[in-house]
Amino acid sequence: MTVKIGVLGLQGAFREHAKALEATDTEISIVKRVHELDGLDGLVIPGGESTTMRRLMDKYELFEAIKDFAKDKPVFGTCAGLILMAKKIDGQKGPHLGLMDINVKRNAFGRQVDSFEAELHIKGVADNFAGVFIRAPYITEVGEEVEVLATYDNKIVAAQQGHFLTAAFHPELTDDNRFHQHFVEMVKGRVFV
């Protein structure tokens, strides 16, 4: 069975995510409007700039619609997507979607190392995954139900909580689609139960 996965296409690296998913057994669509969530089995929230993406979500009434979608459908957020999914953002009053029990710090690796690549061990996914970090956040704290999937320099950079998956880096910017494949398996598991 082919599952249908949408990539939120308001801003950021959504085309790259769609491309990474092409190599998996999925039907892919770009989501820019609320009705385009209909019939999807899972959603990817890409990297970009979290405050801009939030503003656009509000503008197109996608904010509540995505919260609703996420009640029982898998969501995968990378970088800005991770920030949007977190329950707590360092130095910021409230969260955005607040889907995952994680605290996140934005632009957390500092200005000197704006962007870098590091080899990651991602639990259950890959021992040697090239993590591309771009003004990346990291997770400072996780709740009991959150499973840490990867750390870099003792900082949490990938995690999963039930049907939510998140990464501080950009798996869509490499040719390695194992992390996307992991999300597809999560979506399939959900569809079959």
Contact 62, 8 (CB under 8 A): yes
- Pull the structure tokens for residue 50: 């979290």
Catalytic annotation present for 172: yes
**Binding positions for ligand GLN, 121-140, rule CB under 6 A:** 134-135
Residue linked to tokens 């977190």: 86
Q: What is the C-alpha separation between 7 and 31, in angstroms, rounded?
A: 6
Nearest approach, Cβ of residue 169 and ligand GLN (Å): 9
Contact 156, 142 (CB under 8 A): yes
Residue of 17, 163, 172, 182 with catalytic role: 172
Binding status of residue 83 toward ligand GLN by CB under 6 A: yes
- DSSP 8-state class, residue 36: G
Single residue of 49, 90, 141, 185 touching ligand GLN by CB under 6 A:
49
Q: What is the C-alpha separation between 125 and 140, in angstroms, rounded?
A: 22
Binding status of residue 57 toward ligand GLN by CB under 6 A: no
Nearest approach, Cβ of residue 72 and ligand GLN (Å): 26
Residue type, position 100, single letter: M
Nearest approach, Cβ of residue 52 and ligand GLN (Å): 8
Binding status of residue 80 toward ligand GLN by CB under 6 A: yes
Nearest approach, Cβ of residue 108 and ligand GLN (Å): 9
Residue type, position 67, single letter: K
Residue of 79, 96, 163, 182 with catalytic role: 79
Using the minimum distance from each CB to ligand GLN, give the nearer residue, 135 or 190: 135
List phi, psi (to 5°) of 122.
-110, 115
Residue type, position 156, single letter: I
* Residue 156 annotated in ligand binding: no
- Residues with a catalytic annotation lie at 79, 170, 172
